[in-house]
Structure 1
Amino acid sequence: MKRRFLIGSMPVAFAAVALTGCTRPIYNVSRRPFQHPGSFEHRAIQIQRAAAGLGWQTDVVRPGVIRATLNLRTHVAVVEITYNQEVFSIIYADSSNLNYDGTNIHKNYNGWIENLERVISQQPSV
């Protein structure tokens, strides 16, 4: 009887372990400095150029705020990029098919955000 229980519960335990490997704590960027000097007016162009190079679509919400969306296969990630002349932040806004549970998200999401962060910070002045 015990043997049956252990064998029967193994697929459930394996599935639970496998699913936890697919998500990671969400990564948000807070006040990352731009590497090159630039005016406030040019920061939006720099951010949009960097995002477009990585496949993100951007919309200017208002001065200092850009909403960026990445569509990859069945996955959608939406972030809000806030900025001033010196720094920018990238904050999770929404997603689809990325297993977001309020704290954790699909493991690939953080890599997309890290790439976006790196390219934005290194973007030369306009």
Structure 2
Amino acid sequence: MFHRICLIGVNDISSKYSGIKNHNMNLTVAMQNCTAGSSRVVLAHNPASVLEFSKEDLEKVDVVLSGHTHAGQYYVLAPLVSQVLPYFHGLYDLPHGHGKLLVSAGTLYQVENL
């Protein structure tokens, strides 16, 4: 059976500090055009974003795809980073609702290894 998918993108968690009027992360507004019964997939750069989404919104979300952490990228710091960040790398349950948060390692290196 084919299900509808609503792909939802939100501004970055830090966008509220940009100084641009109304440039903030607002999942409620981003989901307003999703049809009832559709699977909801949220794209959020920083996995910590899920901590700022409302309980009501998260209960409507099936999956959040995120990155930002690069799984530590500089492996010497990875043990420390994994203790500081609420979501580091892998699959997590969302704080509310039934959905999952997938934190990707991304491409790891954007420049030459150090």
**TM-score, structure 1 as length reference:** 0.25
**TM-score, structure 2 as length reference:** 0.26
Structure with greater helix percent: 1
Structure of greater relative contact order (alpha carbons < 8 Å, 6+ residues apart): 1
Structure with greater strand percent: 1
